[in-house]
Amino acid sequence: MNGFTQVIHFLGGIALLFRDIVLELKTKPFYFKIFLKQIYEIGWKSLPIIFVTSACAGMVLTLQFGLTLEKFGGKIYSPKILSLSIFREFGPVFTSLILAGRVGAGMTAEIGAMKVTQQIDALLALGTSPIKRIVIPRYLGGLVAVPILCLFSCFVSIIFGALIGYFELNLDLFYFFYKVFETSKLHDFFSGYIKTYFFSSFIILTACYFGLKVSQGTYEVGNATTKSVVFSSVLIVLGDYLLTKCYWMMV
C-alpha cells in the first residue's frame, strides 16, 4: 500500500469508527466505570508531563518575547503577546501534541496487544462489542480529559510566564496578570478551547483505529504505535490551521 492510499484508508477508517461510536452509543450497556478509569488514565496521569511542558513553554515564550521586545523598549507588551499566543494556540496545540505521544501511543499499543493476543476476539466471542467496551469509554474519556488538561496547561504557562517576567524582566507580577486578563477576551479563550474537542477526537480515534487494525504480531504493534503518533500529530496541526481559519471566518 503506498502512502496516498494509506492516508485515504486512514481517513475512511476513522470516519467509520466515529460512525460506529455514534451508532453504538444509542444502545446499552454503557461502561461507566471504564469511562471514569479512562478519565483518570488520560487526564490525571498526564498532569505531571503537561505541568512540566507547559511551565517550560510559558517561561521560554516570556523570555523570548521579553528579550526581543526589550530592544525596542516594548517589554511591557510581553504579557499581552504571551496570553494571546497561549490561549489561542500554544495551550491547545502543544498539549494535544504531547498527549498524542503520551496517550495515543499507549492506547494503540494496548489495543494492538489485545488484538494480537486474541483478547479482542475473546470479547467478540463472549458477545461484547469492542466498540462499546474499548473505544467508547476512551473516546468520551478523552473528550472530558483533554479540554481540562488544555485549560490547566494555559494557566500553568501564564503563571510561569509571570514568574519569569518578574525575575528576568523586572515586570511586576500584579501588572503581568492584569495585562493577561485585560488582553484576553472570552473569544480568544474559546477559539482555543473549542479546538481541544477536535484534537481529543483526533488523538483517540487515530489511536483506536491503528490499535484495532493490528493483525499480524508484536512487530506490527510497534509499527502501529508509531503511525498512531505520526497521523494524530499531523491531524492536529493541519486541523489547527483549518479550525483557526473557520473560526475567523465565523466571527
Q: Which residues bind other proteins (CB under 8 A)?
A: 29, 117-119, 121-122, 124-129
Minimum CB separation from other proteins for residue 155, in Å? 34
C-beta of 149: minimal distance to other proteins in Å? 24
Residue 121 Cβ, how far from other proteins at the closest point, in Å?
Answer: 6
Q: How far apart are CA 10 and CA 103, in angstroms?
A: 19
CA distance 174 to 193: 25
Least distance (Å) between residue 98 CB and other proteins? 25
Question: In the bound complex, what is the minimum distance in angstroms from residue 140's beta carbon to other proteins?
Answer: 19
Residue closer to other proteins, measured from CB, 54 or 225: 225
Of 128 and 223, nearer to other proteins (C-beta) is 128
Residue 189: exposure state from Cβ atoms within 10 A (0-12, 13-18, ≥19) = middle
* Other beta carbons less than 10 A from residue 144's beta carbon: 16
Of the two residues 6 and 118, which places its CB atom closer to other proteins in the complex?
Answer: 118
Count of CA atoms in the C-beta half-sphere (13 A) of 114? 20
- With respect to other proteins, which residue has the nearer C-beta, 114 or 243? 114
Distance CA 17, CA 207 (A): 11
- Distance in Å, CB of 211 to other proteins, minimum: 14
Closest CA to 209 of 195, 227, 222: 227
Nearer to other proteins, 132 or 195 (CB): 132
Query: Which lies closer to other proteins via its Cβ, residue 125 or residue 186?
Result: 125
